[in-house]
Amino acid sequence: MAELRFDGRVAIVTGAGQGLGRQHALELAARGAKVVVNDLGGSLHGSGSSAGPAAAVVEEIKKNGGEAVASTDNVATPEGAEAIVRTALDVFGKVDIVVNNAGILRDKSFKNMVPEEFDQVLAVHLRGSFLVTHAAWPHLREQAYGRVVMTTSPAGLFGNFGQANYSSAKMGLVGLTKTLAAEGAKYNIKVNAIAPIAWTRMTEELFPPEYKEKLSVELVTPVVAWLAHETNASTGETYSVGGGRVARVFVAEGPGFTKQGGLSVEDVRDNWQQINEVEPYLLAKDIGEQTMAVFNAIN
């Protein structure tokens, strides 16, 4: 089978100055894409900014014979998001691929988390992904082609102590992914999410040193590149990726308990075990299929 190429494609990768985003940008560029390397260049907690990281990645891509342009715009503001997409259009004439990867952390136990810490994390991850994709969307629709990759997290999918803000943002991205998959279907816009695990500045204090190699960012990027490729037909899905392992993560509904003609609190208590059954589960492809399951049960 032929190598997967991105010749003629234009990609935006947010937060591409280091870590996972940098690797995504390098890989897409190495395979022929023209890349907007966006990075605000701030700290892990989102303070400060620097043009250095994005410029360094652009330089690296060019040195390897690829094409790239740097953007230091902030994904979390409408102006910043517009400017990122405008850079793609002005420099490369279009946009085909959006990889929403930029992110920050403000970890705190829920008791100690102040509203600003909640808002700031949602602003970058969830609102930022919304804004950048929203700015690109009319162009993707118009050309009837687009590939969007969101970056969610196991912390969002499964919960994590001290990350009420981050997990809310990350699970929000799963909903956004599914809805954009539905809205993009008619226009050949495929929207998927990855839930990575990799050794970066975000995680280097969490993992023992021997995991630096085992969880390298190189082992996440192939899934992003595949989801961004024109031959990928999947949409609305989430994939857990790390260390060379790739698995689909899904939201499903159990068979449930149905009682016609009125449901009492005691019915709920007495059937709690059946209500909590997970098999056979329904993996609804959209809300229509899920609603139909409810209708079928009550009719």
Report if residue 167 touches ligand NAI, rule: CB under 6 A: no
CB of 187: closest distance to ligand NAI in angstroms? 25
Task: Check binding of 202 to ligand NAI (CB under 6 A).
Answer: yes
For the four alpha carbons of 179, 225, 140 and 156, in that order, the dihedral sign comes to positive
Nearer to ligand NAI, 103 or 146 (CB): 103
56 makes contact with ligand NAI (CB under 6 A) = no
- Other Cβ atoms less than 10 A from the Cβ of 194: the count is 26
- 38 touches ligand NAI by CB under 6 A: yes
CB of 42 to ligand NAI, least distance (A): 5
Does residue 18 belong to the site contacting ligand NAI (CB under 6 A)? yes
Looking at 166, 187, 211, 239, which residue is catalytic? 166
Residue 166 bears catalytic tag: yes
Q: In the β-sheet with 238-242, what is the strand arrangement from edge to edge?
A: 67-71, 34-38, 10-13, 97-99, 146-151, 189-196, 238-242, 245-249
Stretch that binds ligand NAI, among 97-105, 257-265, 268-276, 278-286 (CB under 6 A): 97-105
Q: Report which of 63, 1, 2, 76 is spatially closest to residue 29, judged by C-alpha positions.
A: 63
How far apart, in Å, are the Cα atoms of 211 and each of 195, 200, 206, 217, 244?
18, 11, 10, 11, 12
Cα–Cα distance, 148 to 133 (Å, whole number): 8
Please, are residues 102 and 51 in contact by the beta-carbon 8 Å criterion?
no
* Min separation Cβ 285 and ligand NAI, Å: 25
- State in angstroms the smallest separation of the CB of 150 from ligand NAI: 9
Report, in Å, the least distance between residue 294 CB and ligand NAI.
Answer: 33
Binding segment (CB under 6 A) for ligand NAI, from list 38-46, 245-253, 275-283, 289-297: 38-46
State in angstroms the smallest separation of the CB of 11 from ligand NAI.
15
Q: Would you count residue 184 as binding ligand NAI (CB under 6 A)?
A: no
By CB under 6 A, is residue 76 in contact with ligand NAI? yes
Per CB under 6 A, does 19 bind ligand NAI? yes
Q: Which of 9, 11, 29, 41 binds ligand NAI (CB under 6 A)?
A: 41
When asked if residue 51 is in the footprint of ligand NAI (CB under 6 A), the reply is no
Give the ranges where 31-96 is alpha helix by DSSP (H): 52-63, 78-92
The pair of three-digit structure tokens given for residue 293, joined into one six-digit string:
């399951």
Task: Say how many Å lie between the first and final Cα of the chain, rounded.
Answer: 50
Based on the number of CB atoms within 10 Å of its own CB, is 47 exposed (0-12), middle (13-18) or buried (19 or more)?
A: exposed
Closest residue to ligand NAI, judged by C-beta, is 19
**How many C-beta atoms lie closer than 10 Å to residue 268's C-beta?**
12
Binding footprint of ligand NAI, residue count (CB under 6 A): 34
What letter would DSSP give residue 133?
Answer: H
H helix or E strand, kind and range, residue 144: none
Q: Rule CB under 6 A: say whether 40 interacts with ligand NAI.
A: yes
Where on the chain is the footprint of ligand NAI (CB under 6 A)? 14-15, 17-21, 38-42, 44, 46, 53, 74-76, 101-104, 124-125, 128, 151, 153, 196-198, 200-203
- Catalytic machinery residues: 166
